[in-house]
Amino acid sequence: MKDQTLAIHAGYDKDAQGTMAVPIYQTTAYEFRDAEHAANLFALKELGNIYTRLMNPTTDVFEKRFAALEGGVAAVGTASGMAAIFYAIANVAEAGDNIIVAKQVYGGTTTLTGHTIKRFGIETRYFDVNNPSEIEDLVDEKSKLILFESITNPSIDVADFDAIVSIANKHNILTCVDNTVATPMLCKPISLGCDIIVHSASKYTTGQGLAIGGIIVERDGLVKKIKGNSRYAHFNEPDESYHGLVYSDLPLPLFTLRVRLALLRDLGASPSPFNSWLYIQGLETLALRMKQHSSSALKIAGFLESHPRVKKVNYPGLASDKNHDLALKYFDGGYSGLLSFEVDGLDSAKAIANSTEIFKLVVNIGDSKSIITHPASTTHQQLSAQELMDAGVPAGLIRLSVGLEDTDDLIGDLTKALDA
Ligand code: PLP
């Protein structure tokens, strides 16, 4: 089935009432038929609901639908995009290990990888997403994950999937792609050879800035890369916290299963059923919205490129953009609604961000309402000058998340702010 059909139907068999809309199963727990049923569920002899920290029927539809859209085999929802990224890392790395991360990533991912997990003994080694061959020099036997964004936020680079995947496969390391900005409607990293996909569902998934959430998707056949692979010993050895279960021996998608059984069990950042329901509503219109976000952003990028105060526009849909060829190769149907542009210095950027009326000054992306952000003073404020440069965030950079308003009105708003 095509995306637009999957987005509306995948993962939902109507319940006993024949309910057309997916119901919200607002419950903490589930009654077992008897003690044996309970024991079987805990022992994975039977699959079923135990407790909403681990699974929930509404969240299950969201997970199955998102997995179908990404071309994956299974997914696990989380309480935020950051929780999804942290769990993807924590599922493979422990003290003494390292992960290899693109320098150009969301500010929260930079602080998580550069600071927070360092305190857990996990080292992060950074590569320039525009120069993926750097990964070769960073890999050693303790490297557990290569993490990057398909379209980077806020520098708006496009990852060279072929180059990254070929190095990762040569060394038998898992790749993890944050596909938040592109969404599966425009880019499908699994079809490009990637292993794990993470998302902030807080963005385009509802498309209206309604709820914080995340999701991790796993490709089919991942067990072949993990089974017997010494990098991932804990998937191949008995898990003492789960009565000796060996994940790589199970006939089930092992990566997301371990996130659920170990990390959601012990750390508990699971989505609320109501939020999962909101994501399901959002997915139904995701394909249509991404087309409109993309065509509006392209028009606005063209306008900004011709404005005398604008030094540079970053949008992969522009023929002049350094990522245009990669975008043509890896994207289908548009280049999303995120773009950035550079003006002369911090004060000019702040003045412009203060002057728009329709573009609201907000730290979010992927909303129907257009958003203007000045990363150097907000999302990336905690980064050092060097980290800002590495992340591709000069002081005069402004990020726009182009919403679904009329583009003539949006261009009028920017014209007023730029000409003020
Ligand atoms: N990944 C990207 C690309 C993001 O832009 C964000 C948030 O802006 C996140 C992850 C974190 O997601 P959340 O805010 O849902 O934790």
Of residues 132, 144, 196, 135, the one with CA closest to residue 172: 144
Q: Does the Cβ of 212 fall within 6 Å of ligand 1?
A: yes
Taking CA atoms, 1 is separated from 6, 9, 14, 68, 205, in Å, by 6, 10, 19, 10, 20
The answer to whether residue 279 sits within a structural domain is no
Residues 13 and 121 in one domain: yes
How many angstroms does the Cα of residue 29 sit away from the middle of ligand 1? 29
Residue of 86, 112, 149, 202 to test ligand 1 pocket, by largest number of atoms within 8 Å of CB: 202
The answer to whether residue 281 sits within a structural domain is no
Boundary-marking domain end, from 245, 274, 303 = 274
Token pair belonging to 108: 């929260």
pLDDT digits (tens, 9 = 90+) for 188-242: 999 999 999 999 999 999 999 999 999 999 999 999 999 999 999 999 999 999 9
Residues 228 and 311 in one domain: no
The answer to whether residue 21 sits within a structural domain is yes
Residues 235 and 325 in one domain: no
pLDDT digits (tens, 9 = 90+) for 90-136: 999 999 999 999 999 998 999 999 999 999 999 999 999 999 999 99
How many angstroms does the Cα of residue 236 sit away from the middle of ligand 1? 31
Residues 261 and 297 in one domain: no
Boundary-marking domain end, from 274, 305, 321 = 274
Q: Could you give the percent of the chain with pLDDT greater than 70? A: 100
Question: What backbone torsions phi and psi does residue 216 show, to the nearest 5 degrees?
Answer: -120, 130
Would you say 127 and 103 are in contact if contact means Cβ atoms under 8 Å apart? yes
Q: Could you give the percent of the chain with pLDDT greater than 90? A: 91
Average of pLDDT values for 64-89? 98
What residue has token string 């309970």?
Answer: 38
Average of pLDDT values for 291-303? 98
Q: Give the 3-state DSSP-derived string for the chain, with helices as H, strands as E and coil as C.
A: CCHHHHHHHCCCCCCCCCCCCCCCCCCCECCCCCHHHHHHHHCCCCCCCCECCCCCHHHHHHHHHHHHHHCCCEEEEECCHHHHHHHHHHCCCCCCCEEEEECCCCHHHHHHHHHHHHHHCCEEEEECCCCHHHHHHHCCCCEEEEEEECECCCCCCECCHHHHHHHHHHCCCEEEEECCCCCCCCCCHHHHCCCEEEEECCCCCCCCCCCCCEEEEECCCHHHHHCCCHHHHHHHCCEHHHCCECHHHCCCCHHHHHHHHHHHHHCCCCCCHHHHHHHHHHHHCHHHHHHHHHHHHHHHHHHHHCCCCCCEEECCCCCCCCCHHHHHHHCCCCCCCEEEEECCHHHHHHHHHHHCCCCEECCCCCCCCCEEECHHHCCCCCCCHHHHHHCCCCCCEEEEECCCCCHHHHHHHHHHHHHC
Residues 29 and 110 in one domain: yes
Question: 65: pLDDT confidence band, cut at 50, 70 and 90?
Answer: very high
Token pair belonging to 52: 């909403």
Question: 155: pLDDT confidence band, cut at 50, 70 and 90?
Answer: confident
Range of the domain at 77: 3-274
Q: Give the pLDDT confidence score for residue 323 in this predicted structure.
A: 97
Residues 266 and 293 in one domain: no
Q: Give the pLDDT confidence score for residue 391 in this predicted structure.
A: 74
Token pair belonging to 312: 């540079």
- CATH code of the domain covering residue 325: 3.90.1150.10
Residues 192 and 309 in one domain: no
The answer to whether residue 44 sits within a structural domain is yes
> What is d(CA 10, CA 64) in angstroms, rounded to the nearest whole number?
7
Burial 129-141 (b: 16+ CB within 10 A, else e): bbebebbeebbee
Residue of 85, 113, 157, 203 to test ligand 1 pocket, by largest number of atoms within 8 Å of CB: 203
How many angstroms does the Cα of residue 106 sit away from the middle of ligand 1? 7
Q: Does the Cβ of 77 fall within 6 Å of ligand 1?
A: no
Question: 377: pLDDT confidence band, cut at 50, 70 and 90?
Answer: confident
Q: Give the pLDDT confidence score for residue 393 in this predicted structure.
A: 84
> What is d(CA 242, CA 7) in angstroms, rounded to the nearest whole number?
35
Taking CA atoms, 85 is separated from 70, 132, 201, 379, in Å, by 17, 21, 12, 17
Asked whether the predicted pLDDT for residue 256 surpasses 90, the reply is yes
To the question of pTM greater than 0.85 for the whole model, the response is yes
Residues 181 and 57 in one domain: yes
pLDDT digits (tens, 9 = 90+) for 240-255: 999 899 999 999 999 9
Q: Give the pLDDT confidence score for residue 409 in this predicted structure.
A: 98
Asked whether the predicted pLDDT for residue 392 surpasses 80, the reply is no
Which residue has its alpha carbon closest to ligand 1 atom 4?
106
Token pair belonging to 169: 């496969």
Residues 224 and 315 in one domain: no
Taking CA atoms, 64 is separated from 84, 160, 212, 264, in Å, by 16, 28, 19, 17
Q: How many residues does the chain have?
A: 420
Asked whether the predicted pLDDT for residue 317 surpasses 80, the reply is yes
Residue 85 CA, closest ligand 1 atom number: 10
- CATH code of the domain covering residue 266: 3.40.640.10
Q: Give the pLDDT confidence score for residue 192 in this predicted structure.
A: 98
Boundary-marking domain end, from 227, 242, 274 = 274
Q: 143 has which bridge partners? A: 98
Q: How many domains does the chain have?
A: 2
Token pair belonging to 253: 């998608």
pLDDT digits (tens, 9 = 90+) for 323-371: 999 999 999 999 999 999 999 988 999 999 999 999 999 999 999 999 9
Residues 66 and 117 in one domain: yes
Residues 238 and 373 in one domain: no
Residues 36 and 165 in one domain: yes
The answer to whether residue 101 sits within a structural domain is yes
Token pair belonging to 247: 């994940």
Q: Give the pLDDT confidence score for residue 167 in this predicted structure.
A: 98
The answer to whether residue 99 sits within a structural domain is yes
The answer to whether residue 150 sits within a structural domain is yes
Which residue has its alpha carbon closest to ligand 1 atom 14?
81
The answer to whether residue 382 sits within a structural domain is yes
